[in-house]
Amino acid sequence: MVKEVDVHALAAAHADGAVAVEVREPHEDAAWGHAMFEIVAVETPSLGDRSYLVHNGEVALVIDPQRDIDRILDLAEARRVRITHVFETHVHNDYVTGGLALARITGAAYHLNADDPVAFEHRGLSDGEFVEVAPGLSVRALATPGHTFTHLSYVLEAGGEPVGVFSGGSLLYGSTGRPDLLGPDHTDALARHQHASAQRLVVELPGSAQVFPTHGFGSFCSATQADGTSSTIGEEQQTNPALRLTEDDFVVALLAGLDAFPAYYAHMGPANHAGPDGADLSSPGVADPDQLRGRIDAGEWVVDLRSRTAFAAGHLAGSLNFGLDGSFATYLGWLIPWGTPVTLLGETPEQVAEAQRELVRIGIDRPAAVATGDPEEWAGADPLAEYRRAAFSDMRAAGRDAVILDVRRRLEWVAGHIDGAQHVPLHELLDRLGEIPEGEVWVHCRSGYRASLAASILARAGRQVVAVDDEFDNAAGADLPVTTTEGKAA
């Protein structure tokens, strides 16, 4: 039995996201003596998620791997460890898992909740079940429903002592996973489960246990956007609403704070239940100017990956701007009519490869084609298109017939908006283009990225557009009338 567990090093992240944990056994004749293990957080910032690799120098376990498993395999190879176990906290709604492919490649045991109705071979786990990964190092499954009905958290135990918990979409940093992804009929029940699950983790674990969530770093699976990069059960007890509020108060606050989530989520659950293949990251074919024009004319999406500044200054007419400098995959997956062929335009092959990697994580498996270089090369003999960029201070000079279009989400609009602006959330824009009045459209969001996406959609539809590339906080300072939905000054 371990008498002392030293987890002080958990708080110090290595440059590659690794966190070292030392476990000391005071008895020299103990079965496993003096052991080290390491927890490596594998970041996917574009989706706001983390996966984890845990190893003792010989064998490793993996939690919630993304579909591009080459990152995990490279980590294991660099550390010269063998992956023996892969765990899923839940059937994911925001990305296509790489768990099944990783298990098949490595021969690892693949663990999910025994009640998950998946269509592939796996090892089903039940509440309280232990999995020994190596002598002295084990994982205990805890049922923590709320994000989904079959959600599991995994308690990492060293020598029988809990040192951390992989909480998936249950307890996040200062928040919890959202309970509405399975539909409105289940939202209230799941919210109440989420509160109970957070309380259970506090009962089951010491305050020193580290919390390792999958979501909460910008993911739309998080009920609210959380701050911080590390936490413990004890720290969450002091700050997390799920641990500070009564069940009823928590549910009311949680549901009031929920807003829209990406449309592509509807396709992730079915893909993960079916058992997805690994990522195909081989290079697609290259399209010439005639082929690019043909794809645009056919209604396909030709996506320019450059910055919004570069796109506004000159782009292939009819192309759309989803810059890699923002939440590229989230918004492209949210807006695109599912199944529409995608062609990627980038300045370099590396830029296109990065975009392809991001898209495969959400089930957009193969770009129809790619092209690299500059817009003059993509356009051939055709002239480039362009549109204006502006700040909120320029809006006072807009013509009387100008349309101010706010493409932020509902809760952002409620908190404060420009009086007289038209509100069409970005994710509804394609279906509501006909609602936007005639005239020059000044489109804005909170900081400029979503406005650029909307501007490119409007320009493709033939509208005269000005993209407001500015922080919304500057609107009031520009003497623009900012109000709430109740008509009060914001």
Q: What is the DSSP string of 377-441?
A: HHHTTSPPB--EEE-GGGGGGS-TT-EEEE-S-HHHHHH-EETT-EE--GGGGGG-GGGSPSS-E
Residues 14 and 49 occupy one common structural domain? yes
Tens-digit pLDDT profile for residues 218-244: 899 998 777 678 999 999 999 999 999
247-256 and 184-204 are packed helices; what angle lies between their axes, rounded to 10 degrees?
Answer: 130
Report residue 10's pLDDT band, with 50, 70 and 90 as the boundaries.
Answer: very low
Conformation bin of residue 296: beta by default, left when phi > 0, alpha when psi is -120 to 50 = alpha
pLDDT for residue 5 is more than 70:
no
277 CB-contact burial (10 Å; exposed 0-12 / middle 13-18 / buried 19+): middle
**23 pLDDT tier (thresholds 50, 70, 90):** very low
Tell me the pLDDT band of 397, cut-offs 50, 70 and 90: confident
Q: What single string gives the DSSP state of each residue in 23-57?
A: EE-S-TTSSS-SEEEEEEEEEETTTTEEEEEEESS
The domain boundary residue, chosen from 348, 379, 410: 379
pLDDT above 90 for 87? yes
Same domain, 454 and 478: yes
Do 370 and 414 reside in the same domain of the chain?
no
Position 3 confidence tier, pLDDT thresholds 50, 70, 90: very low
451 and 328: one domain? no
Both 249 and 302 in one domain: the answer is: no
Domain that holds residue 344: 289-379
**Average of per-residue pLDDT across 27-53:** 74
pLDDT digits (tens, 9 = 90+) for 325-358: 999 999 999 999 999 999 999 999 999 999 999 9
| Single residue among 349, 379, 409 that ends a domain in this structure | 379
Q: Which of residues 399 and 70 earns the better pLDDT score?
A: 70
Mean pLDDT of 381-407: 94
> Considering the domain boundaries, does residue 280 fall inside one?
no
User: Per residue in 1-33, is it b (16+ CB within 10 Å) or e — as a string?
Assistant: ebeebebeebeebeeebbbebbbbbeeeebeee
Whether pLDDT at 257 is above 70: yes
Helix, strand, coil distribution of the chain in percent, nearest 5: 30, 25, 45
Domain count, the chain: 3
Residue 252 domain-assigned? yes
Residue 282 lies in a domain: no
pLDDT of residue 1: 25
Judgement on whether residues 322 and 414 belong to the same structural domain of the protein = no
Q: 4 pLDDT band (50/70/90 cuts)?
A: very low
Domain presence at residue 327? yes
pLDDT (average), residues 2-14: 31
Q: Pick from 274, 307, 335: which residue ends a domain? A: 274
pLDDT the model gives residue 35: 53
In sequence order, the β-bridge partners of residue 38 are: 20, 55
Do 182 and 68 belong together in one domain?
Answer: yes
- For residue 279, being part of any structural domain is answered with no
Q: Give the whole-number percent of the chain exceeding pLDDT 70.
A: 91
Same domain, 23 and 164: yes
Mean pLDDT of 352-376: 97
Q: Residue 362 corresponds to which tokens in the numbers above?
A: 């959400």
Query: Is residue 223 in some structural domain?
Result: yes
73 plus 194 within the same structural domain: yes
Residues 209 and 148 in one domain: yes
pLDDT at 24 over 80: no
Least confident window among 24-33, 186-195, 210-219, 354-363 = 24-33
Give me the CATH number covering residue 341: 3.40.250.10
Q: Is the pLDDT of residue 261 over 80?
A: yes
**Which phi and psi (to 5°) does residue 79 adopt?**
-95, 0
Q: Is the pLDDT of residue 36 over 90?
A: no
pLDDT average, residue stretch 311-335 = 97
Examine the domain organization and report whether 299 and 224 are in the same domain. no
Q: Is residue 490 part of a domain?
A: no
Whether 283 maps to a domain, the answer reads no
Looking only at the bridges linking them, the beta strands covering 482-483 and 417-418 are antiparallel
Higher pLDDT, 60 or 15: 60
| CATH number, residue 85 | 3.60.15.10
What is the residue-averaged pLDDT of the chain?
91
- pLDDT per residue over 132-159, tens digit each? 999 989 999 999 999 999 999 999 999 8
- Is the pLDDT at 190 greater than 70? The verdict is yes
First to last CA, the chain: 59
| pLDDT at 250 > cutoff 60 | yes
Read off the pLDDT of each residue in 122-127 and give the average, rounded to a whole number.
97
Predicted TM-score (pTM) of this structure: 0.90
pLDDT the model gives residue 485: 77
Q: What is the pLDDT of residue 225?
A: 72
Q: Are residues 338 and 190 part of one domain?
A: no
Q: Is the pLDDT of residue 450 over 50?
A: yes
Is the per-residue pLDDT at 273 higher than 70?
Answer: yes
Res 441: pLDDT: 97
